[in-house]
Structures are given as structure tokens and as C-alpha cells.
Structure 1
Amino acid sequence: MQKRYPQPTRCPVCSGTLSVRTLECTECGTSLTGHFTACRFCQLEPEHLQFLEVFLRHRGMLSGVERELGISYPTARNKLDALLLALGIMPATIQQENGRISAQQQEILDMLEQGLITAEEAARKLRNLR
């Protein structure tokens, strides 16, 4: 049996993105050639993959991740945010996670932040949501 190596994610010459062009069956040797989408998780940097494994082992509990990796809660949370961004997932804000801000409230706050409405208009709109 041939030794297996982890799939490289970057070109060793120019650091460009590598694409999957050939798949081969280990049983019968059948080959498929084309342009295939690579697994998002397979393209993670080793540090992100290690964090993901620890995070899953602790069923998403950052306190367990803290203990196993010997890091603080804020560091664990920052590593989780970095992992999410590496996967192309935008981390939710703490307020949204806790359900303190509804989608309508967030929309009003976004409009205020963008300067589309004044603070007074935002306050009125937020009061009217109650």
C-alpha cells in the first residue's frame, strides 16, 4: 500500500490555489478527470483543523476547549472566529446569538450606522417595534 500524504492546498511554486482534477478509486483503479470542488474542511490550515477537532470533541463548549488547549476563553473565542472566517462563515455578534436583537432591530441599527436615518428616527422606529 502506498503512503498517503495530506492534500496540499497551495501551489508549492507560486502559492496559488490548487484545484482537484483527478479522482481515483483505491479498489479498482478507476479514474475520474474533471474540475471538482475540494472539501472546505480539507483546505483548512493545520491549526484551524486542530481547533475544529477539539471544538467538536467538546461538543461546541468553549470551556472544554479552554481546558484542553490551555488557553483563555477570549483566546478560544478568537480562534473560533478565525476558524469561521477561514470557512467563509461570518461570525454572529454576541447580541444576535443571545437573541437580544431581532432582525428588524439589527436592520434599523445598520441603517443608522450607514447614515441612512438619524438617531431620532432610529429611536422612533425601535420604539414602534414593541
Structure 2
Amino acid sequence: MKLPIFCPSCESSLNVSQMKCNHCDTTVNGNYDLPLYLKLGRDEQDFILAFFLSSGSIKEMAKQAELSYPTMRNKMDDLIEKIKQLKTL
């Protein structure tokens, strides 16, 4: 199941309010921001993971995805811009 990151009613960002240990049933309550990585969509998270697993090689990622290097570079630039915007929120 995918973690919801936006309110289904007003589309505002959601925060974490409760976490529970499945081992001992301890519950922690509060109002915590989601980590930036979890504020990204599943495709964007997968892109970052693929970048990491390719040792940071955009050329290798492009080869594996059967895309041109400029196309993959544009995807990377778009993701970088989105992360910059999320960091300022």
C-alpha cells in the first residue's frame, strides 16, 4: 500500500501523527513532517533509487531505460527542480 502524502479532501500535504511498534505495541504520537523523499511520487522515488543503484551514472540509467542521455538528463533536472521547491515549503 502506498503511503498517502496529500489530503484527499483539500490536497494539502499530510503529516505523520502516529507511529506504532509492531513488536511491543508502543505508540508514539505527535505532528511530524514526512521526509522529503516520501513527499515524492513513486516514479520519482524509483528514479532516485535507480540513480543510486547505477552508482550515480545518468549514462547507465539512460542505457537501461533505452532512452537518450539528454532525455534522462532532463528527467534528472526536472526532479532536482522539484526537490528544490519541496525544500522551500
Partner of 1:56: 52
Runs of 4+ with deviation above 6 angstroms: none
* One-letter amino acid matched to 1:80: M
CA distance in 2, matches of 1:70, 1:10: 32
Cross-structure match for 1:122:
none
Any residues of structure 2 matched to 1:1-130 within 5 Å, and which? 5-88=1-84
Output the CA distance in 1 between the equivalents of 2:3 and 2:82. 17
Ranges in structure 1 where 5+ consecutive residues have no aligned partner: 90-130
Tell me which amino acid in the other structure corresponds to 1:31. T
Cα RMSD, aligned residues only: 1.4
Could you tell me the percent identity over the aligned residues? 27
CA apart distance, 1:82? 1.6
Cα separation, 2, equivalents of 1:88 and 1:23: 28
TM-superposition CA deviations, 1:51-87 (whole Å, max 9, x none): 1111111111111010111111111111111222222
3-state SS, counterpart of residue 84 of structure 2: coil
Encode CA deviations 1:81-103: one digit per residue, 9 max, x unaligned. 122222227xxxxxxxxxxxxxx
In 2: Cα distance, 1:14 partner to 1:60 partner: 37
Matched pairs, number: 85
- The Cα shift of 1:41 comes to 0.8
CA distance in 2, matches of 1:15, 1:73: 34
Question: Which has the higher Rg, Structure 1 or Structure 2?
Answer: 1
1:37, distance to aligned residue in structure 2 (A): 2.2
